[in-house]
Chain A
């Protein structure tokens, strides 16, 4: 990795001791089950595990022969890029403005962070109340202004719906971290630039944004991981992958196959595929994007 500290401590055992608690937890509760899941991707079994047989790469081959699975790569790409880019941009905008010490800042910040506390189970219901083509408040308003909102049959609208829902969830999250990042930029730097005659727009791009880059990089990586892995709940509540398969992102199929359809081999194979994709994406980000980060 590009980012390294010049000054380090030397100790043969201390770092391992520091890492031990987390290593133990993930060893037992993640890697051990994960290894079994990977094994499952090479097997075919019934839901209860009473009849298991090895099928080699058959699960993988089966997936790539399915046209709709290949299609969902494209759907996922569009979805993830939209969620990450717009999620970060919108929250950065809001965080920047909220950071200016104006009246009511505390209220604004609280109201913008609080939606993160809405439990996913309740959020799904809320989106239904807002966008359901029949009783939805927002759908009703849209219809009144001439837009025929029907995400049940209109694939593009359905895609828009899940992108909006996913971004909504993340705005509060990104906002919070941007706030934290902004608050650690010394005001003295900005004052000095202002005295030098730099306008707010310039100050933002030459001082604030570079100093914020560690946070931005963090959020970029995390948002992409979020878009790839944590969004199946939203899809399940809003569109269930429909209409047809227009909003069936990769991870939704993983969730559906593993959890509802109880096709353990298939969903394990898909998990391996997604995991590989995101690992590559993340490595690429660390290799190329992190170069631009100012530490």
Chain B
């Protein structure tokens, strides 16, 4: 840090440790639950230290060998569908929003603000409420049971557009001025100056949008009628028996942890890009 302040450093660690303890506690509990037998979990209160069933539970979750998992649907296939969807959605959202934010911030044209607000309003009507007409549109376009149906309707992003708008507004005017003076067109400026500068925002958004796409439940449930197109979150949900039958909670939690690994990987990888972005802007 800038100067040595041992007290502040101590405070820093304390605050962060408390923060992690609170925020990550549910994840910790998930892990603990995935290492016990199902019976131990339902005895009140649930144990808070890991048990000895780690290997057994994870093997069962991965191979679908134990009864009570709800279906024989292979976890691998579901993870693949989730991966493709999450990547398409994340990359698509970022690309589309970069272009939209660029248009709104750096140009003057009629209906400019109308477009911004139109994009913004899409945050204000949850999909659950407009499910019937939206489903009909997908069905009429023959997009059911396709990756396109899973991803394209989710690719507009008010959040990303708004974030990029905020960021672009902080970019010094001199840079755009310089580009104009150099005779570079807007798209050159966009490609060579804006996008590289936006690296940290892109990294942050990638994490968020990847996880968003990865955790989709209701939308895939509705637009797929073939279980081979089910993403992994549906797989988890269907292991949780509603009604009366007993849940294999240990397997549910083990699968949930497995489902959280790819997003965790994305988080770790993206952090490297944060640092890189930082170094680049240190000019």
Contacts and interface: CB of A to CB of B under 8 A. Distances in A.
B19 interface: yes
Contacts of B268: 106, 110
B254 to A, nearest CB: 11
Interface string B253-269: 00010011001100110
A31 B133 CA distance: 10
Nearest to B134: A33
11 contacts: A22-B97, A22-B100, A29-B156, A30-B122, A34-B125, A94-B16, A97-B19, A135-B45, A168-B23, A190-B2, A218-B162
Contacts of A278: 124
Given A118-B260, A122-B236, A200 B5 contact: yes
Interface of A: 1, 3, 5-12, 14-16, 18-19, 21-23, 25-26, 28-34, 36-37, 49, 90, 93-94, 97-98, 100-102, 104, 106, 108-123, 125-127, 129-130, 134-137, 139-140, 168, 171-173, 176-177, 179-180, 183-184, 186-188, 190-191, 194, 200, 214-215, 217-218, 221-222, 225, 228-230, 232, 251, 254-255, 258-259, 264, 267-268, 271, 274-275, 278-279, 282, 295
A208 B261 CA distance: 34
Interface SS of B by simple majority? helix
A225 B156 CA distance: 16
A8 B189 CA distance: 11
Nearest to B154: A29
Q: Decide if the interface of chain A is mainly helix, strand, loop or mixed.
A: helix
B133 A36 contact: yes
A15 B107 contact: yes
B177 interface: yes
B55 interface: no
A278 B117 CA distance: 12
Nearest to A251: B126
B153 A191 contact: no
Contact of A259 (B5, B41, B131): B131
